[in-house]
Amino acid sequence: MYGLLAVISLAITVVMAEPSTAPEPFLLGGIVTMFGEYPAVAYIETPDRSVCGAAVLDDRHVVTLAQCVLNVTHHLHNPRLVRVNAAEIRLIPISATRQSSLGAVIYVHPNYKPHTHENDIAVIRVQVPFLLPSNEVEPAIRRTRIVANGVTCQMTGWGTATAVGNAIIAEQRFLPMVINDRDVCNGVRPFSRVFENMICAGNLIAAENGPAPCAASIGSGLYCNGELTGLLSFGMNCGTANNPPTFTQIRFFNPWINQQLNRTDIPPAGWSPLDV
Protein backbone atom coordinates (compact mmCIF):
# COMPACT_ATOMS: atom_id res chain seq x y z
CA MET A 1 0.00 0.00 0.00
CA TYR A 2 2.83 2.41 0.86
CA GLY A 3 4.46 1.70 -2.50
CA LEU A 4 1.22 2.48 -4.35
CA LEU A 5 0.79 5.77 -2.49
CA ALA A 6 4.37 6.72 -3.33
CA VAL A 7 3.76 6.05 -7.03
CA ILE A 8 0.54 8.10 -6.98
CA SER A 9 2.32 10.93 -5.16
CA LEU A 10 5.15 10.90 -7.71
CA ALA A 11 2.67 10.95 -10.61
CA ILE A 12 0.85 13.93 -9.12
CA THR A 13 4.16 15.74 -8.65
CA VAL A 14 5.13 15.14 -12.28
CA VAL A 15 1.75 16.33 -13.60
CA MET A 16 1.86 19.47 -11.47
CA ALA A 17 5.40 20.22 -12.63
CA GLU A 18 4.64 20.00 -16.34
CA PRO A 19 3.29 23.55 -16.84
CA SER A 20 6.39 25.17 -15.29
CA THR A 21 8.79 23.11 -17.41
CA ALA A 22 6.99 23.62 -20.72
CA PRO A 23 8.69 26.17 -22.99
CA GLU A 24 7.09 29.58 -23.13
CA PRO A 25 5.67 30.25 -26.61
CA PHE A 26 7.42 32.81 -28.82
CA LEU A 27 5.76 34.04 -32.00
CA LEU A 28 3.52 32.31 -34.51
CA GLY A 29 3.85 32.51 -38.26
CA GLY A 30 5.78 35.22 -40.00
CA ILE A 31 8.70 35.00 -42.41
CA VAL A 32 12.20 33.62 -41.78
CA THR A 33 14.75 36.46 -41.85
CA MET A 34 17.78 36.48 -44.10
CA PHE A 35 21.28 36.65 -42.64
CA GLY A 36 22.11 40.27 -41.81
CA GLU A 37 18.59 41.51 -42.48
CA TYR A 38 18.09 42.81 -38.92
CA PRO A 39 21.63 43.29 -37.56
CA ALA A 40 20.51 45.46 -34.62
CA VAL A 41 18.37 42.68 -33.11
CA ALA A 42 19.60 41.44 -29.73
CA TYR A 43 18.14 39.76 -26.67
CA ILE A 44 18.94 39.53 -22.99
CA GLU A 45 18.88 36.72 -20.45
CA THR A 46 18.14 37.44 -16.78
CA PRO A 47 17.48 35.38 -13.64
CA ASP A 48 13.76 35.72 -14.45
CA ARG A 49 13.68 35.40 -18.25
CA SER A 50 15.52 33.31 -20.82
CA VAL A 51 14.74 35.72 -23.66
CA CYS A 52 13.73 39.38 -23.69
CA GLY A 53 14.16 41.41 -26.84
CA ALA A 54 16.59 44.32 -27.25
CA ALA A 55 18.30 46.38 -29.94
CA VAL A 56 21.92 47.43 -30.33
CA LEU A 57 22.52 51.18 -29.89
CA ASP A 58 26.31 51.28 -30.28
CA ASP A 59 29.27 49.07 -29.45
CA ARG A 60 28.57 49.24 -25.70
CA HIS A 61 24.80 49.67 -25.28
CA VAL A 62 21.47 48.03 -26.04
CA VAL A 63 17.96 49.30 -25.42
CA THR A 64 15.34 46.99 -23.90
CA LEU A 65 12.28 47.17 -21.66
CA ALA A 66 12.30 48.24 -18.03
CA GLN A 67 10.23 45.21 -17.09
CA CYS A 68 12.92 42.94 -18.54
CA VAL A 69 15.65 44.11 -16.15
CA LEU A 70 13.52 44.36 -13.00
CA ASN A 71 12.52 41.43 -10.81
CA VAL A 72 9.00 40.54 -9.72
CA THR A 73 9.08 43.23 -7.01
CA HIS A 74 10.26 45.82 -9.57
CA HIS A 75 13.82 46.03 -8.26
CA LEU A 76 16.86 46.16 -10.53
CA HIS A 77 18.73 42.96 -11.33
CA ASN A 78 22.45 42.84 -10.69
CA PRO A 79 23.82 43.70 -14.17
CA ARG A 80 26.44 40.95 -13.81
CA LEU A 81 23.56 38.46 -13.86
CA VAL A 82 22.20 39.85 -17.13
CA ARG A 83 23.63 38.51 -20.39
CA VAL A 84 23.27 40.42 -23.66
CA ASN A 85 23.39 38.49 -26.95
CA ALA A 86 23.64 39.98 -30.43
CA ALA A 87 24.09 38.55 -33.96
CA GLU A 88 21.84 35.63 -33.02
CA ILE A 89 19.90 34.30 -36.01
CA ARG A 90 19.10 30.99 -34.28
CA LEU A 91 18.38 30.12 -30.67
CA ILE A 92 18.69 26.35 -31.12
CA PRO A 93 21.46 25.64 -31.94
CA ILE A 94 23.30 28.83 -30.96
CA SER A 95 24.48 30.85 -33.95
CA ALA A 96 28.21 30.73 -34.66
CA THR A 97 28.07 34.51 -35.20
CA ARG A 98 26.74 35.32 -31.72
CA GLN A 99 28.43 38.07 -29.72
CA SER A 100 27.69 37.84 -26.01
CA SER A 101 28.56 39.88 -22.93
CA LEU A 102 27.41 40.35 -19.35
CA GLY A 103 25.96 43.68 -18.32
CA ALA A 104 28.07 46.35 -16.63
CA VAL A 105 25.43 49.00 -15.82
CA ILE A 106 21.66 49.15 -16.25
CA TYR A 107 19.69 52.39 -16.51
CA VAL A 108 15.90 52.18 -16.13
CA HIS A 109 13.57 55.06 -16.90
CA PRO A 110 12.83 56.61 -13.48
CA ASN A 111 9.16 57.15 -14.38
CA TYR A 112 8.45 53.57 -15.37
CA LYS A 113 4.96 52.58 -14.17
CA PRO A 114 4.53 48.80 -14.13
CA HIS A 115 0.75 48.91 -13.68
CA THR A 116 0.23 50.89 -16.91
CA HIS A 117 3.47 50.02 -18.79
CA GLU A 118 4.25 53.72 -19.24
CA ASN A 119 7.93 54.59 -19.85
CA ASP A 120 8.77 50.91 -20.22
CA ILE A 121 12.36 51.32 -21.37
CA ALA A 122 15.91 50.67 -20.15
CA VAL A 123 19.48 50.87 -21.47
CA ILE A 124 22.16 48.27 -20.69
CA ARG A 125 25.89 48.96 -20.95
CA VAL A 126 27.85 45.76 -21.61
CA GLN A 127 31.20 44.71 -20.17
CA VAL A 128 32.68 43.60 -23.49
CA PRO A 129 32.00 45.91 -26.47
CA PHE A 130 30.46 44.50 -29.61
CA LEU A 131 32.80 44.11 -32.56
CA LEU A 132 31.86 46.94 -34.91
CA PRO A 133 31.77 47.41 -37.82
CA SER A 134 30.52 43.90 -38.43
CA ASN A 135 28.53 41.99 -41.01
CA GLU A 136 26.39 40.57 -38.19
CA VAL A 137 25.91 43.51 -35.77
CA GLU A 138 25.01 47.10 -36.54
CA PRO A 139 23.52 49.86 -34.37
CA ALA A 140 19.81 50.43 -34.84
CA ILE A 141 18.62 53.44 -36.79
CA ARG A 142 16.10 54.91 -34.39
CA ARG A 143 12.81 56.30 -35.60
CA THR A 144 12.36 60.05 -35.06
CA ARG A 145 9.08 60.67 -36.91
CA ILE A 146 5.51 59.49 -36.42
CA VAL A 147 4.35 56.39 -38.30
CA ALA A 148 0.97 56.78 -39.96
CA ASN A 149 -1.92 54.43 -39.24
CA GLY A 150 -2.20 51.69 -41.83
CA VAL A 151 1.53 51.46 -42.54
CA THR A 152 2.94 47.91 -42.50
CA CYS A 153 6.02 47.45 -40.30
CA GLN A 154 7.93 44.36 -39.17
CA MET A 155 8.30 42.88 -35.70
CA THR A 156 11.34 40.64 -35.25
CA GLY A 157 11.70 37.68 -32.96
CA TRP A 158 12.02 33.90 -32.88
CA GLY A 159 9.31 31.36 -33.41
CA THR A 160 7.57 28.69 -35.41
CA ALA A 161 5.58 28.65 -38.61
CA THR A 162 2.37 27.44 -36.93
CA ALA A 163 0.94 26.87 -33.47
CA VAL A 164 2.71 23.58 -32.76
CA GLY A 165 2.86 22.73 -29.07
CA ASN A 166 6.35 22.53 -27.54
CA ALA A 167 8.01 23.12 -30.93
CA ILE A 168 11.74 23.83 -30.85
CA ILE A 169 12.31 27.54 -31.34
CA ALA A 170 15.15 27.84 -33.81
CA GLU A 171 14.55 30.51 -36.43
CA GLN A 172 14.67 34.27 -36.34
CA ARG A 173 11.50 35.48 -38.03
CA PHE A 174 9.61 38.70 -38.64
CA LEU A 175 5.91 39.39 -38.55
CA PRO A 176 4.36 42.02 -40.83
CA MET A 177 2.27 44.28 -38.57
CA VAL A 178 -0.09 47.08 -39.60
CA ILE A 179 -0.03 50.18 -37.39
CA ASN A 180 -3.42 50.63 -35.70
CA ASP A 181 -5.19 53.78 -34.60
CA ARG A 182 -4.66 54.24 -30.86
CA ASP A 183 -8.35 54.94 -30.24
CA VAL A 184 -9.31 51.71 -31.99
CA CYS A 185 -6.94 49.73 -29.76
CA ASN A 186 -8.29 51.42 -26.65
CA GLY A 187 -11.81 50.63 -27.82
CA VAL A 188 -11.20 46.88 -27.97
CA ARG A 189 -9.02 46.78 -24.81
CA PRO A 190 -10.06 49.51 -22.37
CA PHE A 191 -8.39 47.84 -19.37
CA SER A 192 -4.81 48.36 -20.67
CA ARG A 193 -4.67 51.68 -22.43
CA VAL A 194 -2.37 52.72 -25.26
CA PHE A 195 -0.85 56.08 -24.31
CA GLU A 196 0.71 58.62 -26.66
CA ASN A 197 4.24 57.33 -26.08
CA MET A 198 3.18 53.85 -27.18
CA ILE A 199 2.29 52.41 -30.58
CA CYS A 200 -0.28 49.71 -31.29
CA ALA A 201 0.07 47.29 -34.21
CA GLY A 202 -0.85 43.79 -35.28
CA ASN A 203 -3.96 41.68 -34.93
CA LEU A 204 -7.15 43.06 -33.42
CA ILE A 205 -9.21 39.99 -34.28
CA ALA A 206 -8.41 36.33 -33.64
CA ALA A 207 -5.46 34.88 -35.59
CA GLU A 208 -5.20 31.34 -34.27
CA ASN A 209 -2.16 30.31 -36.33
CA GLY A 210 -0.63 33.76 -36.51
CA PRO A 211 0.95 35.93 -37.43
CA ALA A 212 0.99 36.97 -33.79
CA PRO A 213 3.45 37.37 -30.88
CA CYS A 214 3.25 35.14 -27.82
CA ALA A 215 4.49 35.63 -24.26
CA ALA A 216 8.19 35.07 -24.95
CA SER A 217 8.16 37.75 -27.67
CA ILE A 218 8.37 40.43 -24.99
CA GLY A 219 10.79 43.21 -25.91
CA SER A 220 10.80 42.32 -29.61
CA GLY A 221 11.65 45.22 -31.89
CA LEU A 222 9.22 46.83 -34.32
CA TYR A 223 10.96 48.18 -37.42
CA CYS A 224 9.28 50.60 -39.82
CA ASN A 225 11.17 51.32 -43.04
CA GLY A 226 14.19 49.69 -41.39
CA GLU A 227 14.08 52.03 -38.37
CA LEU A 228 13.65 50.85 -34.77
CA THR A 229 10.19 52.15 -33.92
CA GLY A 230 9.13 50.23 -30.83
CA LEU A 231 9.76 47.45 -28.31
CA LEU A 232 6.91 45.04 -27.53
CA SER A 233 5.70 45.89 -24.03
CA PHE A 234 2.31 44.15 -23.71
CA GLY A 235 -0.39 42.53 -25.84
CA MET A 236 1.52 39.29 -26.51
CA ASN A 237 -1.81 37.79 -27.53
CA CYS A 238 -0.68 34.59 -29.30
CA GLY A 239 -3.48 35.06 -31.81
CA THR A 240 -6.38 35.92 -29.49
CA ALA A 241 -8.69 38.84 -30.23
CA ASN A 242 -9.02 42.22 -28.48
CA ASN A 243 -5.50 42.35 -27.03
CA PRO A 244 -3.42 44.07 -29.74
CA PRO A 245 0.39 44.10 -29.50
CA THR A 246 1.54 47.38 -27.96
CA PHE A 247 5.06 48.80 -28.10
CA THR A 248 7.08 51.41 -26.23
CA GLN A 249 7.47 54.06 -28.96
CA ILE A 250 11.16 54.81 -29.41
CA ARG A 251 10.86 58.30 -30.92
CA PHE A 252 9.45 59.63 -27.64
CA PHE A 253 12.49 58.38 -25.72
CA ASN A 254 15.39 59.27 -28.01
CA PRO A 255 16.57 62.21 -25.81
CA TRP A 256 16.46 60.00 -22.71
CA ILE A 257 18.29 57.18 -24.49
CA ASN A 258 21.04 59.57 -25.61
CA GLN A 259 21.53 60.78 -22.04
CA GLN A 260 22.11 57.23 -20.78
CA LEU A 261 24.93 56.60 -23.25
CA ASN A 262 27.13 59.14 -21.45
CA ARG A 263 26.13 58.58 -17.83
CA THR A 264 28.91 57.79 -15.38
CA ASP A 265 26.89 56.96 -12.24
CA ILE A 266 26.07 53.34 -11.45
CA PRO A 267 22.59 52.58 -10.06
CA PRO A 268 22.91 49.88 -7.39
CA ALA A 269 21.41 46.44 -7.80
CA GLY A 270 18.06 46.50 -6.02
CA TRP A 271 17.23 50.06 -7.10
CA SER A 272 13.57 50.51 -7.99
CA PRO A 273 11.74 53.18 -10.02
CA LEU A 274 8.92 52.86 -7.49
CA ASP A 275 11.24 54.36 -4.85
CA VAL A 276 11.96 57.52 -6.87
Q: What pLDDT was estimated at residue 182?
A: 97
Say which DSSP state 252 is in: G
pTM across the whole model: 0.89
> Strand 31-32 to strand 171-178: parallel, antiparallel, or no bridges (unpaired)?
antiparallel
Cβ(253)–Cβ(109) below 8 Å: yes
Q: Which residues pair with 247 in a beta bridge?
A: 199, 232
Strands (E), 83-196: 83-86, 99-108, 122-126, 152-160, 171-178
| Domain 39-139+254-266 classification at class level | mainly beta
CATH annotation of 27-31+140-251: 2.40.10.10
Q: What pLDDT was estimated at residue 159?
A: 80
Q: What pLDDT was estimated at residue 89?
A: 85
Nearest to 254 by CA among 273, 229, 234: 229
**Same fold: 27-31+140-251 with 39-139+254-266:** yes
Cβ(85)–Cβ(60) below 8 Å: no
d(CA 158, CA 173): 5
- Domain chopping of the chain, boundaries: 27-31+140-251, 39-139+254-266
Q: What pLDDT was estimated at residue 202?
A: 95
Say which DSSP state 76 is in: B
Q: What is the pLDDT of residues 77-128, one digit of tens each?
A: 999 999 999 998 888 888 888 999 999 999 999 999 999 999 999 999 999 9
The ranges of the chain with pLDDT < 50 are: 1-23
